[in-house]
Amino acid sequence: MPLTRDAPGLLLRDVLERESSVVRIANAIAEAEADIIVLTRFDFDASGITLRAFAELVGQGFDHGLQLRSNAGVPTGLDLDADGRLAEPEDAQAYGRFPGQEALALLSRFPILSDEAHGYNAELWRDMPDTLMMPTDPGWDIQRLSSGGHWTVPIHFPDGETTRTVTILAGHAGPPVFDGPEDRNGRRNRDELRLWTRILAVTDPPFVFMANTNLDPERGEGDRDAMAAFLRQDLLRDPLPGQVTAHWSRPGPMRVSYILPSAEVEVQAARVWPVIEDQQHSLITMDLVLPDAALP
C-alpha cells in the first residue's frame, strides 16, 4: 500500500498528525492481524522515526521494523528524458522527487536479521544477462535496473525451543507504461521480473515473495506472458490466481501485487481484502505453514 508523499518529512508529519488516509491504512493492517507486513512505496528516512511512528499507530505488537532503500529519486546527473532540464523526477535512477521516496519497509512481530538483508539495487541494467537495455538508451553506463527495490530479508521466529528462519523477498517494480514506442519502461519492467527469477534461484527455502511487479499476467500493458510464466514456476505457489489487487479506473482492475510462498510451504488461507477508502491497492494476507512447523 502506498505511504508516500511529495517531499521528505511529509509522511512523518501525516503519521504524527493522524492524517485520515494514514489512519485508514493502519487500521486495515491492524484488522488483518498479520505477523509480517511488507509496505511498498513507504518513504525512507535515515532516522527510522517514520516507520516507528507508523508501527505505533498500527499497534498489534510490531516490535521489529526495517527500512529498505529504493532507487527512486536517486540522482543520475543526466537528462534521461532529454527535455533539456536536469534533476527532475524522470532523471533519477527511478522516478522520484527525492532520494528515499517510494522505498520499502517491513514490520514484524519477530526479529528481523537486518545485518543479513541483501539488496540488489546497485546492479546496472546493462549487466543483466541478455539485457533488454540497448546501448542507445539514455544512461547506458549508469542506469540501475531495480526501481523500487529487490531485497531478501531473513526473519527469525520461535518454534518450540528452537528458532527457524524464513526469507522475505520484498520489492516493487516500475510500471511498464508512461513511455513511447521505444518501450523503455516496458523493457525495464520485464528485466526487473527477470532479476526476481535470478534471486529466487539462489534463495534457500522456505521463502515468501511479497512484491509488487506492476505486471498482470492477463491484463494491461507489459510482458503479460512473462508474468504468467513467473507464476508457473515450480519454486512457487500461487494461492490467489486471477485476483484483482489494484483497483484503477484506468487502465482498469488488475493484479499487480503478489504473495507467493515457496513450493514446500502449505497455504492454509489466502485473502485479498476489500480496497480501503481513497486507496487503489488491496491488502493481501496469507496464513502459512512451513514444513514440519507452523508459522505463528
Residues 6+ away with beta carbon under 8 Å from 125: 131, 133, 143, 144, 145, 188, 191
Q: In what order do the strands lie in the sheet with 118-119?
A: 118-119, 150-159, 162-172, 207-212, 257-261
pTM of the model: 0.95
Of the candidates 253, 133, 141, 146, the one whose C-alpha atom is nearest the C-alpha of residue 183 is 133
pLDDT of residue 145: 98
Q: Which residues of 1-27 are buried (b: 16+ CB within 10 A; e: fewer)?
A: bbbbbeebeebbebbeeeeeebeebbe
More confident residue, 251 or 17: 17
pLDDT of residue 142: 97
pLDDT at 209 over 60: yes
pLDDT of residue 271: 97
Compute, in degrees rounded to 10, the torsion defined by CA atoms 233, 190, 250, 211.
50
User: CA angle, 148 as apex, 115 and 62 as ends, to 5°?
Assistant: 50
pLDDT of residue 87: 94
* 134-143 per-position pLDDT tens digit: 999 999 999 9
Gap between the Cα atoms of 230 and 199, Å rounded: 12
Helix (H, G, I), strand (E, B) or coil at 21: helix
Q: How far is CA 81 from CA 10, 172, 175, 221, in A?
A: 27, 22, 16, 21
* 76-107 per-position pLDDT tens digit: 999 999 899 999 999 999 999 999 999 999 99
CB 54 within 8 A of CB 1: no
What is the architecture, at CATH level 2, of domain 10-294? Answer: 4-Layer Sandwich (3.60)
Of the candidates 139, 175, 142, 180, the one whose C-alpha atom is nearest the C-alpha of residue 2 is 175
Gap between the Cα atoms of 112 and 154, Å rounded: 6
Give the helix, strand, coil percentages of the chain, each rounded to 5.
20, 30, 50
pLDDT of residue 293: 55
pLDDT of residue 1: 58
Max distance between CA atoms of the chain, in angstroms, equals 62
Neighbours of 183 (CB within 10 A): 17
Average pLDDT, the chain: 95
Delimit the domains of the chain by residue range.
10-294
Lowest mean pLDDT among 68-77, 114-123, 243-252: 243-252
Instruction: Tell me 125's DSSP state.
Output: G
pLDDT at 294 over 50: no
**Cell digits for 163?**
528458532
pLDDT at 60 over 90: no
Q: In what order do the strands lie in the sheet with 64-68?
A: 36-42, 103-108, 64-68
For range 227-235, the mean pLDDT: 97
pLDDT at 296 over 70: no
Gap between the Cα atoms of 70 and 18, Å rounded: 25
Gap between the Cα atoms of 228 and 231, Å rounded: 5
Neighbours of 124 (CB within 10 A): 15
Question: pLDDT tier at 2 (50, 70, 90 boundaries)?
Answer: confident
Question: pLDDT tier at 158 (50, 70, 90 boundaries)?
Answer: confident
pLDDT of residue 237: 97
Taken in order 6, 179, 280, 38, the sign of the CA dihedral is negative
pLDDT of residue 229: 98
For range 190-195, the mean pLDDT: 98
Residue showing cell 506492476: 214
For range 199-213, the mean pLDDT: 97
